[in-house]
Amino acid sequence: MQVISQRYPDIRIEGENYLPQPLYRHIASFLSVFKLVLIGFIIVGKDPFAFFGMQAPSVWQWGQENKVYACMMVFFLSSMTENICMSTGAFEITLNDVPVWSKLQSGHLPSMQQLVQILDNEMKLNVHMEQMPHHRS
């Protein structure tokens, strides 16, 4: 941002998150609530499997014997999965509402040299378009 702001002081730079598909957002939201419920069950020691008439698996027994470690594992694994669901890998650049770079399409981030060259070309094109005579019909 500093390089671009110094080179192009008139450019306003805005950043925002590129939202993932709704399915992934819903999965992340579900996991966020589910992990808190599961951690609550672990801490209280309430067996949720008994409610469904099922025998608790051995991993549940292990979690009851190692509550702190089990809670940490649930928290970190769930958070990691939430982050994977919410990450799009997007790095999209638009100039005057015109897309000039897309990591989603190209598969990689532009180098600083590529970014400056793209902006130089776009700025020259914009100046050229503004200087063209407008014909009235």
CA–centroid distance for 70 within its chain:
27
Distance between CA 61 and CA 49 in Å, rounded?
11
Q: Does some domain include residue 7?
A: no
pLDDT at 72: 97
Report helix, strand or coil for 95. strand
Q: Count how many domains the chain has.
A: 1
Q: Is the residue at 10 inside a domain? A: no
pLDDT digits (tens, 9 = 90+) for 78-113: 999 999 999 988 888 887 778 888 888 888 888 888
- What predicted TM-score, i.e. pTM, was given to this entire model? 0.64
In a domain, 14, yes or no: no
Q: Does a structural domain hold residue 57? A: yes
Give the domain extent around 100: 22-130
Cα 115 from Cα 2, distance rounded (Å): 13
Cα–Cα dist 77/84, whole Å? 11
* 17 is a domain residue: no
107, burial (CB in 10 Å: exposed 0-12, middle 13-18, buried 19+) = exposed
User: How confident is the model at residue 90, as a pLDDT?
Assistant: 86
